[in-house]
Amino acid sequence: MIRPYLTTTRGVLFDSDCIKTMRLLRPEIADCIFADPPFNLGKDYNSKFNDKVEQAEYYDWCREWILEGTRLLKPGGAFFIYATPEIAVRFAGFLNERLTFRHWIALSMKGTYSRGKKLYPAHYTLLYYTRGEPNTFNGLRTPIPACRHCGRDIKDYGGHRNKLNPEGLNLTDFWEDTSPNRHKKYKARKGVNELKLIIPERAILISTNPGDFVFDPFGGGGSTYQAAEMHGRNWLGTELYDCHYIKTRLTESFPVSVNRTPNFNIMDLFTNENSKSKVLRGRKRKSL
Ligand SMILES: C[S@@+](CC[C@H](N)C(=O)[O-])C[C@H]1O[C@@H](n2cnc3c(N)ncnc32)[C@H](O)[C@@H]1O
The larger pLDDT score, comparing residue 23 to residue 282, is at 23
Nearest to 142 by CA among 169, 163, 162, 106: 169
pLDDT tier for residue 192 given thresholds of 50, 70 and 90: low
Q: Ligand 1 pocket check: which of 240, 242, 245, 250 to mutate, most ligand atoms within 8 Å of Cβ?
A: 240
Residue % of the chain over a pLDDT of 90 = 69
| Arithmetic mean of pLDDT, 225-248 | 97
Q: Ligand 1 pocket check: which of 184, 195, 218, 238 to mutate, most ligand atoms within 8 Å of Cβ?
A: 218
Q: What is the pLDDT of residue 120?
A: 85
Domain spanning 4-280, CATH class: alpha beta
Exposed / middle / buried, residue 203 (Cβ in 10 Å: 0-12, 13-18, 19+): buried
Q: What is the pLDDT of residue 272?
A: 74
Q: What is the pLDDT of residue 124?
A: 94
CA–centroid distance for 137 within its chain: 17
- For the stretch 116-154, pLDDT in tens is 888 888 999 999 999 999 999 999 999 888 888 998 888
The yes-or-no verdict on residue 187 having pLDDT over 80 is no
The larger pLDDT score, comparing residue 166 to residue 276, is at 166
- For the stretch 62-112, pLDDT in tens is 999 999 999 999 999 999 999 999 999 999 999 999 999 999 999 998 877
The yes-or-no verdict on residue 185 having pLDDT over 50 is yes
pTM of the full predicted structure? 0.91
Which residues does a 6 A CB cutoff place in the pocket of ligand 1? Answer: 17-18, 36-38, 45, 47, 49, 192-195, 217-218, 220-223, 238-241
CA of 217 from ligand 1 middle (Å) equals 7
The larger pLDDT score, comparing residue 156 to residue 6, is at 6
Domain definitions of the chain by residue range:
4-280
- The atom of ligand 1 lying closest to the CA of 221 is 9
- The atom of ligand 1 lying closest to the CA of 222 is 9
